[in-house]
Amino acid sequence: MPVVLIAEELSPATVEALGPDFEIRYCNGADRAELLAAIPEADAILVRSATKVDAEALAAGRRLKVVARAGVGLDNVDVRAATMAGVMVVNAPTSNIVSAAELAVALMLAAARHVSPAHAALKNGEWKRSRYTGIELYEKTVGIVGLGRIGVLVAQRLSAFGMKVVAYDPYVQAGRAAQMGVRLVDLDTLLAEADFMSVHLPKTPETAGLIGAEQLAKAKSSLVLVNAARGGIVDETALYAALKEGRVAAAGLDVFAEEPCTDSPLFELENVVATPHLGASTDEAQEKAGIAVARSVRLALSGELVPDAVNVQGGVIAEDVRPGIPLTEKLGRVFTGLAGEVAQQVDVEVRGEITDYDVKVLELAALKGIFADIVEQQVSYVNAPLFAAERGMAVRLVADPESPDHRNLVTIRGTLADGSQVSVSGTLVGIGQRERLVEVNGFDVDLEPTAHLAFLTYGDRPGMVGTVGVILGDAGINIAGMQVSRQAPGGQALVALSVDTAIPADTLADIQHAIDAESVRAVNLV
The CA distance from 435 to 324, in Å, is: 9
What whole-number distance in Å separates Cα of residue 174 and Cα of residue 111? 30
Check if 277 is active-site.
yes
First to last CA, the chain: 21
Of these residues, 48, 69, 277, 333, which one is catalytic? 277
In order, the DSSP letters of 206-274 are TTTT-B-HHHHTTS-TT-EEEE-S-TTSB-HHHHHHHHHTTSS-EEEES--SSSS----GGGG-TTEEE
Determine the 3-state secondary structure of 519 from DSSP.
strand
Which of 513, 430, 443, 521 lies closest to 471, judged by CA? 513
3-state SS string over 263-316?
CCHHHHCCCEEECCCCCCCCHHHHHHHHHHHHHHHHHHHCCCCCCCECCCCCCC
| Bond prior to 260 in cis (omega within 30° of 0) | yes
CA distance 291 to 221: 44
Q: What's the rounded Cα separation, in Å, for the pair 365 and 362?
A: 5
The DSSP call for residue 357 is S
Active-site residue, 349 included? no
- Alpha-carbon gap, residue 499 to 369, rounded angstroms: 20
- Exactly one of 230, 333, 351, 452 is catalytic; which is it? 230
Q: Is the dihedral of CA 250, 256, 262, 266 positive or negative?
A: negative
- Which entry of 259, 270, 304, 436 is annotated as an active-site residue? 259
DSSP-derived secondary structure for 417-471:
TTS-EEEEEEEEETTTTEEEEEEETTEEEEE---SEEEEEEEE--TTHHHHHHHH
Instruction: For residue 330, give the H/E element and its range.
Output: helix 324-339
Residue 163, φ and ψ in degrees, nearest 5 = -90, 150
Closest to 237 measured CA to CA, from 218, 219, 212:
212
200 is catalytic: no
Cα torsion 165, 166, 170, 174 to 10°: value is 80
Active site residues: 230, 259, 277
